[in-house]
Structure formats: C-alpha cells, structure tokens
Amino acid sequence: MSLTAFLSGATGFVGSNLARELLRQGWHTHVLVRDDSLLGEIKGLPVSIHQGDLTDRQSVMEAIPQQVDAVFHVGASTNFWSRNNELQDRVNIDGTQNMLDAAANAQAKRFIHTSSFTTWGFRHCELDERSERTGQTDWINYVRSKHLAEESVLQATREMEIDAVILNPAHILGPGDQNNWSRMIRMVNRGKLYAAPPGGGNFCDVREIAKAHVQAFHQGRSGEKYLLGGEYADFTGVVKIVGEVLDRRVPGIAAPAWVMSAWGYANAAAARFTGNPPDITPESAAMVSYRVNCDSSKAMQALNYRFTPIRTLIEITRDWMETRGLLS
C-alpha cells in the first residue's frame, strides 16, 4: 500500500519539486491549492487537488484527508517588501497554525515543516542546529514570521502531541525558481546588477531538498531541526559564475553593506509610486550582506542529504529559466 501525503505550497519552487519526488517514490499525493493558483509547475502530475487557502482555517480542515501518513507544510510567503508584511504574517504564522490544527484533526501520522536557516537570525557566523538565536534581524518580516511559525510547530509537538520534523534550507537553486535567486540571474542577464552583494552563504539543490523532506518522514526525529546547506561561496563568487554561465559582464567586487541598504531603500521608495515589487528592498539587501555558513552534518548523517556544486546548480537553473522564457 502506498503512503499518502498532504502537501501545501505544491505550485511553488520547493513544493513542486517535492510533489514530483513524492510521486517518483510512489506516494499518493494530495495538494492544497488556492482557486487562483497558477498550476503550471504541477500540470499533468497525477496528484489529487484540493482547493483551499492557508489563511482560511476551515478550507484547510476540509481539504486534508483523514489519517494521512504525512503532512508536508511547504507553503509560505517569501516576501521581502514591507508593503506585504500583513499578508505574509497571515500566510506564514496563521497558515502554519491552521495546517497544524488540520493535521491534528485528521490524525496525520507525521508533520514535516519547511522552515529556513534564517530563523536563527542573521549575523556573520558558522551556524549549526545548536547555535543561539539572535533577534537583531527580526525587523525583516520574513525572518520574524518564519521564526514564529517554527515556534508554533515546536509548541505543537509539546502540547498537541504532533509528531513534527523541521527542515531549515539555506539558499536554494534549481528548476522551478521564479522569485528567489533567479531574480539575481535575470538582473545579470539584463545588465542591471551594478554591484555584487557583500555577504556569502550556502547554496543547495532544490531536488536534494525534496529528497530530504521524504527522508525526514522516514528517519527524522520528532521535534528536531535539520539544516540543509550546501557548497559555501561569497556572493561575489556566485555572481562571477552567473556571468560566466550567461556570458555577461558582471561587477567584480562587492558593494559595501551600506550601499546595498541605500539601494534597497531607494528602490522601495520608487515602488511606492510604481506599485511594482522592487528587485532589491531594504530587507533583501540586508539578507545578502551577512556571511552565514551552515553546517549540514546532522542532515547528511540522518537524512542522507547531499550537495550539488554551485556552478552545476546555476547551469541547471539557467537551463530551466530558458525553457520558461525567463531569460529572453
């Protein structure tokens, strides 16, 4: 008998890759989608579609199958524009609680929560699961909201007796990326990246992230977090590789953090008049100004998690973007 999964965020970057991985491994996969969701990334996949919205508790309750083996809560808002903070809180904080309540009501066997390495807060550091959290970047609503969502999951393991595992990916690349690092790739392609960010970080393969989610169901320990990093590089080096892969000229040095911040505030100010989300905001500028190196040893040992070289990831992402016309 195949295992059953209930998946939020299936139309997004990580979620669509996870849906494919679940199907590849023979899972019967149910997905939660909004009635206005674009289904292009799961079109043609043999999944059971249930309409609902993370921010609508009743719709989630009605969508989830009873006694499902695993709830994979991937859906989240990755917004970095303060104009959308209120909606982000409803999706990331309230939406996570709604999924937890639905999982408990449906007697789901296990809850796998997609969090982020950002929940420890940003600072120049070597990061592992035992690192202390800092709240100094909680003014970035994504950081704050994902931290509070994670706390809800941990509380549910204690008070609701939900068997939950938390995964904390770093910077993700790969097929399906439309709004994350693909934005930087598009800026390089258009000749609009005027300076490399001053920070650095780990880059992970979205396909390996998907595999780690399934392994977390089988082998993760309840109430535990697992950092999912990858090869580390300063962002200047990443930009250089993108330039080589796209055959475009790129800036060879990093801008100081204060320059990135000023650029972000200028873009955010301009966006008040245009109404269009800015490519760089004060929040996203801050997030690429820190050097955070994640230790993935725990996930590598427990979940058989593996790295893909950064250049390979960028080439894979470029190829996918070209098939979608995102680099035309």
Query: Is 145 inside a domain boundary?
Result: yes
Tell me if 263 is assigned to some domain: no
Q: 262 lies in a domain?
A: no
Q: Can you say whether the dihedral through the CA atoms of 247, 249, 255, 260 is positive or negative?
A: negative
Give the model's pLDDT for residue 280: 85
SS (H, E, C) the chain: CCCEEEEECCCCHHHHHHHHHHHHCCCEEEEEECCCCCCHHHCCCCCEEEECCCCCHHHHHHHCCCCCCEEEECCCCCCCCHHHHHHHHHHHHHHHHHHHHHHHHCCCCEEEEECCHHHHCCCCEEECCCCCCCCCCCCCHHHHHHHHHHHHHHHHHHHCCCCEEEEEECEEECCCCCCCCHHHHHHHHHCCCCCECCCEEEEEEHHHHHHHHHHHHHHCCCCCEEEECCEEEEHHHHHHHHHHHHCCCCCCCECCHHHHHHHHHHHHHHHHHHCCCCCCCHHHHHHCCCEEEECCHHHHHHCCCCCCCHHHHHHHHHHHHHHCCCCC
Going by C-alpha positions, the residue among 211, 300, 163 that lies closest to residue 27 is 211
Number of independent structural domains in the chain: 1
d(CA 122, CA 7): 29
pLDDT score, position 4: 97
For residues 83 and 72, what is the distance between their CA atoms, to the nearest angstrom? 28
Per-residue pLDDT, 170: 97
Give a yes or no: residue 254 inside a domain.
no
- Residue 18 in any domain: the answer is yes
- Asked whether residue 172 is assigned to any structural domain, the reply reads yes
Mean pLDDT, the chain cut into blocks of 10 residues (328 residues total)? 93 95 97 81 89 95 96 95 94 98 97 97 92 92 97 94 96 92 93 91 98 98 97 97 96 89 90 83 93 97 97 97 91
Task: Provide the β-strand partners of residue 228.
Answer: 169
Look up the domain containing 171 and give its range: 4-176+202-230+293-307
What values do phi and psi take at 214, rounded to 5? Answer: -70, -40
Residue 276 lies in a domain: no
**Residue 55: inside a domain, yes or no?**
yes
Rounded Cα–Cα distance for residues 316 and 241 (Å): 13
Q: What CATH number is given to the structural domain containing 153? A: 3.40.50.720
pLDDT in tens, 247-270: 999 998 898 898 889 989 998 898
Which amino acid would we find at residue 14?
V
pLDDT of residue 252: 85
Q: What pLDDT does residue 275 have?
A: 80
